[in-house]
Structure 1
Amino acid sequence: MNLCTNAAQAMHEKGGLLEVGVTDADLDSEAVARYPDLSPGPYVVLTVSDTGQGMDRSVMERIFDPFFSTKGPGEGTGLGLAVVHGIVKDYGGAIDVCSEPGKGTTFRVFLPRVDEVAMAEAEMSASIPTGCERILLIDDEKAVVEPAQCLLEHLGYEIVSKTSAVEALEMFRADPDRFDIVITDHTMPHMTGQDLAGEFLRMRPDIPIILCTGFAEPSISETAKASGIRELIAKPVAIHELAETIRNVLDG
């Protein structure tokens, strides 16, 4: 979704064509030589192409860096593609990009292909903890919050999600006892997740809060824990890690 959002934004001035495709590919040792994280074998290849403004090489070399963005102030955090890259890598895949200024951009995402039997067995063997509590989920990136909400609802939780820290604060202020736990991103426009958590804790000191951050910095961990935040999770977050952290915080 993030790749498609970026493609649409690249064409907002003049319009254009957005194409999404999925295909199977069996990569040999020669084919994976350009991707250090891949091993030879079967893959699913997701392609997202646009005919937008494109990028030069200097931009392409930095697009997966956290906080790098070509958007204007307030239009994004620069974490979207970094999160995409992290998620793909976490699942044993790789992502590459081809672009030409004025002509468009193509992203290719390689993910290991798993047959249905093996996938079912893996799902059965994975004991992901579930729950039924009500969670307030906050992240300014729709491409992050929507799949997270879907996965958590699948685990049995009732999710209320917000992409605005200000709106989340207003909702919590109206009924501080409505939620059992809060999960918030750290880097957001107008208010950081840590500042938002501080406001929540002032209204309800016992509310459990999990802070998600796209980068590791000891000072954030120290101040977050000292302020009353229960746990920190580094992005990208694997669903089993998030599920286990939620239960540890709620049951601990």
Structure 2
Amino acid sequence: MGLAIVHGIITNYGGTITVESLQGEGSLFTLDLPCVTDGIEKEAGSASALLTRGTERILFVDDEEMLARLGKEMLTHMGYDVVTYTSSLEALQAFQANPQSFDLVITDQTMPEMTGVNLVEQLRRVQSDIPIILCTGFSHLVNAETAHALGVEAFVMKPEGTRDLAVTIRRVLDKRDRPPSWQS
């Protein structure tokens, strides 16, 4: 997992991360998180009930296998049918084979084979109206303005909270002009 993502997760939870490095010996990372004991079960139950849900089919692309797996679990829990790829090239091939089977694409920006921006351009050549959410932990190449200029419906900085991502997905899906893939 990239350090920018780790830093984002830790600071979102009110914690800190420090690093001590010795050349030739390695690095020691120290994570400090606040301890919360009251209300955890109550909050977890109510958060799950309040999530914006859906049934659409989502193509989820992230080269980090762990993030792809977590993304699938989270979105499946929200009711979505999720197809994940850790290869942007394989994701593009799957989309090219059957573009109408997907209602939304969520893709990472920084990937080895093809960046998220390049993937967006290729997906748009196949189906110009596919809704796309572009995610990044840190990138010099893209920001919300450049993503919008590409026609990306939403630009998300990682880590995005579950509730916020659920709202973003629903907002993007509710704007589209075509029926969900399961109604076609």
TM-score by length of structure 2 reads: 0.82
1:123 maps onto 2:44 in alignment: yes
For the structure 1 residues 143 and 219, does the alpha-carbon distance in structure 2 shift closer, same or farther, using more than 3 Å as the test?
A: closer
Q: Which structure is richer in relative contact order (CA contacts within 8 A, separation 6 or more)?
A: 2
Structure 2 residue corresponding to 1:159, chosen from 73, 82, 95: 82
Could you tell me how far 1:100 is from its partner in structure 2? 3.8
Structure 2 residue ranges without an equivalent (≥5): 176-184
Number of residue pairs matched by the alignment = 173
Between Structure 1 and Structure 2, the one with more helix by share is 2
Q: Is it true that 1:91 corresponds to 2:13 in the alignment?
A: yes
Checking the alignment, whether the CA contact within 8 Å between 1:137 and 1:149 is kept in structure 2 is yes
Give the match for residue 110 of structure 1: 32
The residue correspondences of 1:1-252 to structure 2 (distance < 5 A) are 2=1, 80-115=2-37, 118-126=39-47, 127-215=50-138, 220-252=143-175
Letter in 2 for 1:123: A
Identity, % of aligned pairs? 47
Q: 1:98 to 1:87 in 2, by over 3 A?
A: same
Tell me which amino acid in the other structure corresponds to 1:156: G
Q: What is the aligned-residue RMSD (CA, Å)? A: 2.3
CA distance in 1, matches of 2:51, 2:138: 25
After superposition, the C-alpha distances for 1:206-235 in whole angstroms (9 at most, x for unaligned) are 211001123476964334223321111112
On the 8 A contact 1:153/1:159 being kept in 2, the answer is yes
The 2-side partners of 1:199 and 1:170 are apart by 10
Q: Deviations over 1:151-202 (max 9, x none)?
A: 2222222221111111111111111112111000112223221111111121
Cα distance in structure 2, aligned partners of 1:219 and 1:81? 18
Confirm or deny: 8 A CA contact 1:216 1:234 kept in the other structure: no
**Which of these two proteins has the greater Rg computed from alpha carbons?**
1
Distance 1:225 1:104, change over 3 A: closer
Cα separation, partners in 2 of 1:224 and 1:100, compared to 1, 3 Å: closer
Long gaps (5+) in structure 1: 3-79
Question: Secondary structure at 1:189's aligned position in 2?
Answer: coil
Amino acid corresponding to residue 157 of structure 1 in structure 2: Y
Q: Distance in 2 between matches of 1:215 and 1:186?
A: 9
Instruction: Specify the alignment match of 2:181 in structure 1.
Output: none
- Mapped to 2, the partners of 1:102 and 1:194 lie a distance apart of 36
User: Which amino acid in the other structure matches residue 190 of structure 1?
Assistant: E
Change beyond 3 A, Cα 1:158–1:111: farther
